[in-house]
C-alpha cells in the first residue's frame, strides 16, 4: 500500500497535535475537536517511521492546497496535477482529495503547517524535498506567480533553507527554453549550487555530494515515503546534465 492509502485510519494525528493533527483527525472522522488535537502534547520520539511518512505526505498536501489558492485562482484539475506529479494509484484519489479540500479551507495558515513540519523534521534534506514538491506544483502551469513565490520564499525561511539552495531547487523546475547558452549555463550552476568562478574540481565534488544524497536508500532512510523518493530521484537526470554542460564549458 502507498503512503497515501495509509494516511487515514492511523493514530498519528492524535499524537502529533497542531494543524496536521487536526487535519488528520477531521478527515478520519473521529469527531475529535480540532482545538483539542491542537493542544495535544507531542514528543517526536514517540512517532514511528510510518507516522513520519504520514506527517510528510499530509504536510505536503496541506501546503499544496494553500499554494493552490494563493495566486487567486483555484483550478478544477488540482488533484489531477498532483496525481501527475506523484503518480499515486486511483484508489487513493478520494483520500487525497479530502485532505486537499479540507486543508484548502481550514483556519490554519500555511506558516503554521510549515512550522510544524520544521519542528518534526530536523533533517534539512527532508525539508528541501518538501519545498521541491511545492515547486513542482507551483510550476504545473509553467508559471511561478508572484504570490506563489512569496509563499515559497517564506516557507524556505521557516525551513532554514538558504538562498543558494532555494535557487537550486527553483532551477530544477524553471522553464528550460533558454534564449542563450549563457542562460542555460546559469541554470546549470544554480542546479548544483555552485558559482561560475568555482574550479571544475570543486564543482565535481559538489556534484558527487548531490548525487550521493539522492541515492534512494539514503533519501528513504531520512523519513521520506517511497512515493516521494521516486519523485526526488527524477531530478538526477537534471543534475547529470548540468554537470556535463558545465564540464564542457570549462574545457
- Phi and psi based region of residue 140 (left: phi greater than 0; alpha: psi -120 to 50; beta: remaining): alpha
Spatial separation of the C-alpha atoms in residues 139 and 121, rounded to whole Å: 25
pLDDT band at 72 (very low <50, low <70, confident <90, very high): low
- Please state the pTM of the whole predicted model: 0.80
* CA–CA gap between residue 58 and residue 68 (Å, rounded): 15
The DSSP letter of residue 250 is T
Kindly state the cell numbers that stand for 159.
525551513
The string of pLDDT tens digits covering residues 21-55 is 888 777 766 444 444 444 444 445 556 777 777 88
Q: Which residue did the predictor score with more confidence, 181 or 118? A: 118
Contact 132, 232 (CB under 8 A): yes
Whether the per-residue pLDDT at 113 is higher than 90: the answer is yes
pLDDT digits (tens, 9 = 90+) for 187-224: 899 889 899 899 999 999 999 998 887 776 776 666 67
What is the phi/psi pair of residue 197, to 5°? -80, -10
- What domain count does the chain have? 1
The 10s digit of each residue's pLDDT in 149-180 is 999 999 999 999 999 889 888 988 887 666 67
Structural domain including 151 reads 3-249
Q: What is the pLDDT of residue 131?
A: 92
More confident residue, 187 or 75: 187
Predicted pLDDT at 68: 84
Please give the share of the chain, as a percent, with pLDDT higher than 70: 76
Gap between the terminal Cα atoms of the chain: 49
Cell numbers 548544483 correspond to 192
Amino acid at each position: 500500500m502507498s503512503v497515501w492509502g495509509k494516511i487515514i485510519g492511523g493514530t498519528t494525528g492524535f499524537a502529533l497535535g497542531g494543524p496536521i493533527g487536526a487535519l488528520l483527525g477531521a478527515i478520519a472522522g473521529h469527531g475529535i475537536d480540532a482545538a483539542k488535537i491542537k493542544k495535544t502534547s507531542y514528543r517526536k520520539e514517540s512517532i514511528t517511521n510510518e507516522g513520519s511518512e504520514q506527517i510528510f505526505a499530509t504536510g505536503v498536501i496541506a501546503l499544496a492546497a494553500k499554494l493552490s489558492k494563493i495566486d487567486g485562482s483555484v483550478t478544477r484539475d488540482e488533484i489531477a496535477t498532483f496525481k501527475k506529479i506523484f503518480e499515486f494509484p486511483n484508489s487513493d484519489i478520494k483520500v487525497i482529495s479530502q485532505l486537499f479540500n479540507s486543508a484548502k479551507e481550514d483556519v490554519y495558515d500555511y506558516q503554521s503547517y510549515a512550522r510544524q513540519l520544521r519542528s518534526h523534521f530536523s533533517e534539512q534534506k527532508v525539508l528541501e524535498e518538501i519545498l521541491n514538491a511545492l515547486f513542482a506544483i507551483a510550476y504545473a502551469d509553467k508559471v511561478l506567480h508572484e504570490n506563489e513565490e512569496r509563499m515559497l520564499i517564506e516557507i524556505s525561511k521557516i525551513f532554514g533553507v538558504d538562498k543558494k539552495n532555494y535557487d537550486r531547487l527553483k532551477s530544477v523546475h524553471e522553464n528550460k527554453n533558454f534564449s542563450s547558452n549563457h542562460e542555460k549555463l546559469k541554470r546549470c550552476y544554480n542546479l548544483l549550487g555552485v558559482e561560475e568562478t568555482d574550479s571544475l574540481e570543486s564543482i565535481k565534488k559538489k556534484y558527487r555530494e548531490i548525487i550521493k544524497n539522492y541515492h534512494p536508500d539514503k533519501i528513504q532512510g531520512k523519513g521520506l515515503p517511497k512515493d516521494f523518493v521516486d519523485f526526488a530521484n527524477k531530478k538526477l537526470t537534471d543534475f547529470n546534465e548540468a554537470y556535463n554542460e558545465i564540464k564542457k564549458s570549462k574545457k
